[in-house]
Amino acid sequence: MLDYLIIGSGLAGISFSEMALQNGKSILVLDNNSQNSSKIAGGLYNPVILKRFSEVGQAKEHLFIMNEFFAILERKLDVKIDIKTPILRRFYSVEEQNNWFAASDKPNLSAFLSTNLITKKYTGIDSPFGYGEVLQTGYVDTALLLKHYKEYLIKNQFFLEESFDYTLLKEEENGIRYKDIQARHIIFAEGFGMHANPYFKGLPLDGTKGELLIIKAPLLDLDVIVNSSVFILPLGDNLFKIGATYNWEDKTDIPTEEGKTELIEKIKEVIHCDFEIISHLAGVRPTVKDRRPLVGTYSNHNSIHILNGLGTRGVMLGPAMAKALFENIEFKKPLEREIDIRRFARKS
């Protein structure tokens, strides 16, 4: 009997799979490749909400778990996926500068916001008011991670590429059975695909479509991530990832002309050099109305669990949420109310 059958191999599925394997558990991952938000994600991790200059909840703890998690994965897969890169917040005014320095004095933000005003002039970008540097930042190459981790799972016979049929899931005394697979637990990590799941479709997952561009700009000289009306992430070879849009109505992963136009208009506000669009990507982020993850166990069904709702911070949240769910299942460690799906239980 397996320990875990895991449905989904995006950031949530990989995070739980690896957490289980690192703790000596047996797994099988099943995925039909229908969700692509993890593949096309910007992959940025940043402990500060830059619109308001406020800390992301439990940033220190989540960064610690994330750093250790991806360091182990890099050694395991023998590939560089975690690229430590400064994020510079481009200031629009002197007032924004003042707000930044006021925020950097706060105890919970002092470790993340540099007090040095960055005045370096990057070719191709106009920045009369300079930048503020966010510390402990970078990005994970999510497409590379998913590719290499899937290859690892396949090599070790931990992976099945097929659609999951919910009607064939049976609960048994010591776990679940699915076709000829027996497992102690099943973890649903389906991203926006959760809406087809009869066990969890009642949860308030409200997907947010995001579109990104890959551009080529030979005259843009940039070795940091710039945060402005869009983020600009250097990929090397004069290529840059630009994002992202937020659309709460369209739930498809089809790139749109509206999204492209919005991104082009915003990038032209920031950079002042020619660029060529190389590719246009879109995906639906698994976001929740209260901006918290969906973690926990289906009511009165001790073998059926969910790890979802990582939203725009999947890279930073995934490992920590996987750890919380694993410890809840294996050691009965309570989940924090902010992430536990029981916060949506109907009041009697």
Confidence of residue 27 (pLDDT cuts 50, 70, 90): very high
Domain boundary at 265, 285, 305, which? 285
pLDDT of residue 52 exceeding 90, the answer is no
* Token pair for 242: 């630009």
- Is residue 81 in a domain? no
- Is residue 332 in a domain? yes
- Asked if residue 281 and residue 169 are part of one domain, the reply reads no
Give pLDDT tens digits for 100-116. 999 999 999 999 999 99
- Is residue 153 in a domain? yes
For the ranges 33-42, 83-92, 117-126, 265-274, the lowest mean pLDDT is seen at 33-42
pLDDT-above-90 percentage for the chain: 91
Q: What is the pLDDT of residue 62?
A: 97
pLDDT of residue 312 exceeding 90, the answer is no
- Asked if residue 197 and residue 147 are part of one domain, the reply reads yes
Average pLDDT over residues 305-333: 96
96: domain CATH number? 3.30.9.10
pLDDT-above-70 percentage for the chain: 99
For the ranges 10-19, 40-49, 159-168, 174-183, the lowest mean pLDDT is seen at 40-49
pLDDT of residue 215 exceeding 50, the answer is yes
- Asked if residue 157 and residue 123 are part of one domain, the reply reads no
Q: What is the pLDDT of residue 346?
A: 59
pLDDT of residue 166 exceeding 80, the answer is yes
Nearest in space to 98 (alpha carbons), one of 132, 48, 122: 132
- Asked if residue 195 and residue 105 are part of one domain, the reply reads no
- Is residue 196 in a domain? yes
First to last CA, the chain: 38
- Is residue 56 in a domain? no
Confidence of residue 1 (pLDDT cuts 50, 70, 90): very high
* Token pair for 155: 């090599």
pLDDT of residue 347 exceeding 60, the answer is no
Cβ neighbours of 83 (radius 10 Å): 14
- Is residue 77 in a domain? no
Residue span of the structural domain in which 321 resides: 2-43+143-205+289-344
- Is residue 65 in a domain? no
Beta strands in 218-317 (DSSP E): 225-227, 231-236, 239-243, 276-285, 294-297, 304-308
- Asked if residue 198 and residue 153 are part of one domain, the reply reads yes
pLDDT of residue 25 exceeding 60, the answer is yes
Average pLDDT over residues 276-300: 94
Amino acid letter, residue 251: K
- Asked if residue 301 and residue 340 are part of one domain, the reply reads yes
Which helix (H) or strand (E) segment holds residue 183: the answer is strand 181-188
pLDDT of residue 341 exceeding 90, the answer is yes
316: domain CATH number? 3.50.50.60
Nearest in space to 207 (alpha carbons), one of 9, 37, 4, 6: 37
- Asked if residue 281 and residue 212 are part of one domain, the reply reads yes
- Asked if residue 153 and residue 109 are part of one domain, the reply reads no
- Asked if residue 119 and residue 246 are part of one domain, the reply reads yes
Cα distance between residue 342 and residue 348, in whole Å: 13
Domain boundary at 242, 263, 285, which? 285
- Asked if residue 293 and residue 281 are part of one domain, the reply reads no
- Asked if residue 39 and residue 150 are part of one domain, the reply reads yes
Tally the domains of the chain: 2
Give pLDDT tens digits for 226-241. 999 999 999 999 999 9
Confidence of residue 163 (pLDDT cuts 50, 70, 90): very high
Phi then psi dihedrals of residue 308, to 5 deg: -155, 180
Only one residue has tokens 């937020």, namely 246
- Asked if residue 212 and residue 112 are part of one domain, the reply reads yes
Q: What is the pLDDT of residue 5?
A: 98
Under 8 Å between Cβ of 147 and 133: no
Q: What is the pLDDT of residue 148?
A: 97
Helix axes 314-331, 59-77, angle to 10 degrees: 90
Cβ neighbours of 78 (radius 10 Å): 7
Domain boundary at 285, 314, 333, which? 285
